[in-house]
Amino acid sequence: MKLSLFNILKILLLRLAVFTVCLELCFHIGGYISGHIQTSQNLTRLKHSSGYRIICLGDSITEHGGKHNSYPAQLESILKQSGSGKTFTVFNLGTSGKDSRYIAAHLDEWIRTYHPDVIVLMTGALDPFQEKFQTRPPNLFQEMFNRLRVVQALSVLTGRSPWAARNHTDNGAHENFAITDNREAFNRAVAQLPPDQRRWCDLAMRADAFNQHARALALFYRMIRLPGLQSQRAFIAQRIGRILWTQKNYPAMTAVLPEIPYFSWPDRTVDVLCADPDLMPGVLKAVHRQLTTHPDAREPYDLMSACYDIAGQPEAARLSRQQARDAGQDTLNPLTKVSLERLFSILTHHPDIAVILMQYPRRDVTKLQHMMQQIPGAGTAIFVENRKNFEEALTDHAYHEIFVDRNLGIAGHGTPLGNRLIAENLAGAILKILD
């Protein structure tokens, strides 16, 4: 075959096609095998189990960590060591990639197989991504394309790689980013730096106190890049923002705005910054960042609608106001609502099973509780929140020590430590129920 460009392309494309097909097959076979392994392991443990049986339902946040580090595994060891004298077996029935619909469909089968005494449910994060419930249904080709495991793997990979993360400014480039406005936490972080970096920080704070703006700014910009101070980015960014706001340096302020939590923004920030049409995209980006870091807050939507009003985009402003109302009204994703209704209609036939609805780390559970009041049969469910324990932990640990990624925006899959926090929290609730 002649070595022409056309022939080379033909060869490359053919090989790429074969490669992709093989890889897709591998994903399917591998997924089937690992699911099979998990189920058979659970069934083996079921045969030898006694005492209380607890099943944990959910998605990859539940499954992640395997036999030793997932939160159900750690839950079992914590309960065993609790000294309550009862025996516990915890089954991890979490399945990566599955939404609440899958759980509702299989609940009956699981109850019949495992005869649980307690069901722990942590689901809902994947529901917004189901095609049927999106506002614009994708065409058939797009749906099939999105279902390919290879495509899913690629999107996960590019989301995880540091290069891509650096481009996703609304997700944060630094994994160990935790929002804290705590002066004590800042001082503690500074105390752990090497001596020359500590000196900069002291000089910076002193310069800020004496309103030596240029010096303070230069030092703060340096500090915000230090690896040891990544957990204090918001604190430093607030100080930078304050100086720039005083100096009326609005372009620079827009650049640092994404790092500043929305509740620290001065009044009329959006009005002032968006008066300059060049700064509008930057402000919108900053507001979007606030939405990902504070998914349960209502104010970012208000800020966004203010932006769009000034930009002269009434339709977008109206949509943002609608979303603000939804955030305020604590509505669940419609798919989650349907699945939960189905779940509880099954559970009314099993009144002796205790149900625990657990919220994802760092998320507000009051919305869930509010919603549950409208679902028949959900009155006896117990709610467990994972907010206080994680916020406390994040003042002592870097983000990456608790979470492996940012798949949930402000949280993600847990490290063994992160999963342990969930397990400890849950263990307390379970022991209280059984008493």
Partner 1 sequence: MLFNSTPFLIFFTIVYSLYLVLPHRWQNRMLLAASYIFYGWWDWRFLSLILISTLVDYLCGLGIARSTQPSRRRGLLLVSLITNLGLLGIFKYCNFFLDTFARLLEACRIPVSWPHLNIILPVGISFYTFQTLSYTIDIYRGRMRPTTHFGDFALYVAFFPQLVAGPIERARHLLPQILNPRRVTLAGFIEGCHLIAWGLFEKMFVAALLARIVDPVFAPDGSTNGLDILTALYAFAFQIFCDFDAYSNIARGLARCLGIDLMVNFRLPYAACNPREFWQRWHISLSSWLRDYLYIPLGGSRYGPWITACNLMITMLLGGLWHGAAWTFVLWGLYHGLLLTGHRLLFWRGSAPDPDTRPRPVRRMITRLIFFHLVIISWLFFRCGSMAQAGQMLSGLVYHFHWTHESIQLFIRFGLICLPLWLIQIWQWRRDDLMILFKQHWIVQTLIYAIMTYLVIGWGVMKPEEFIYFQF
Binding site for partner 1 (CB under 8 A): 15, 18-19, 22-23, 25-27, 30, 153, 157, 160-163
Taking the complex as a whole, the smallest distance from the CB of residue 51 to partner 1 amounts, in Å, to 20
The residue behind tokens 């002269």 is 312
Residue closer to partner 1, measured from CB, 105 or 157 = 157
Distance CA 274, CA 306 (A): 9
User: At how many degrees (to 10) do helices 195-209 and 213-223 cross?
Assistant: 140
Taking the complex as a whole, the smallest distance from the CB of residue 167 to partner 1 amounts, in Å, to 12
Taking the complex as a whole, the smallest distance from the CB of residue 418 to partner 1 amounts, in Å, to 17
The two beta strands, 382-384 and 88-92, are unpaired
Residue closer to partner 1, measured from CB, 11 or 275 = 11
Distance CA 339, CA 104 (A): 6
Residue closer to partner 1, measured from CB, 24 or 296 = 24
Cβ–Cβ < 8 Å for 334, 128 = no
DSSP state of 433: H
Residue closer to partner 1, measured from CB, 105 or 153 = 153
CB atoms within 10 A of CB 148: 14
Residue closer to partner 1, measured from CB, 196 or 315 = 196
Q: What residues have CB less than 8 Å from 406, skipping those under 6 apart? A: 171, 172, 175, 412
Q: Which of 103, 47, 53, 42 is nearest to 76 (CA)?
A: 53
Cβ–Cβ < 8 Å for 133, 335 = yes
Distance CA 109, CA 90 (A): 17
Distances in whole angstroms, Cα of residue 130 to Cα of each of 138, 265, 360: 11, 35, 19
Taking the complex as a whole, the smallest distance from the CB of residue 98 to partner 1 amounts, in Å, to 17
Taking the complex as a whole, the smallest distance from the CB of residue 286 to partner 1 amounts, in Å, to 27
Residue closer to partner 1, measured from CB, 8 or 346 = 8
Taking the complex as a whole, the smallest distance from the CB of residue 156 to partner 1 amounts, in Å, to 9
Residue closer to partner 1, measured from CB, 160 or 206 = 160
What order do you get walking across the sheet with 88-92 strand by strand?
Answer: 88-92, 52-58, 118-122, 354-358, 382-384
Run of H or E residues at 392: helix 388-396
Residue closer to partner 1, measured from CB, 3 or 209 = 3
The three-state secondary structure class of 56 is strand
Taking the complex as a whole, the smallest distance from the CB of residue 215 to partner 1 amounts, in Å, to 28
Question: Would you state the structure tokens that stand for residue 161, as one six-digit string?
Answer: 């790689």
Taking the complex as a whole, the smallest distance from the CB of residue 346 to partner 1 amounts, in Å, to 33
Residue closer to partner 1, measured from CB, 11 or 144 = 11
CB atoms within 10 A of CB 270: 24
Taking the complex as a whole, the smallest distance from the CB of residue 3 to partner 1 amounts, in Å, to 9
Sign of CA dihedral 241, 328, 172, 287: negative
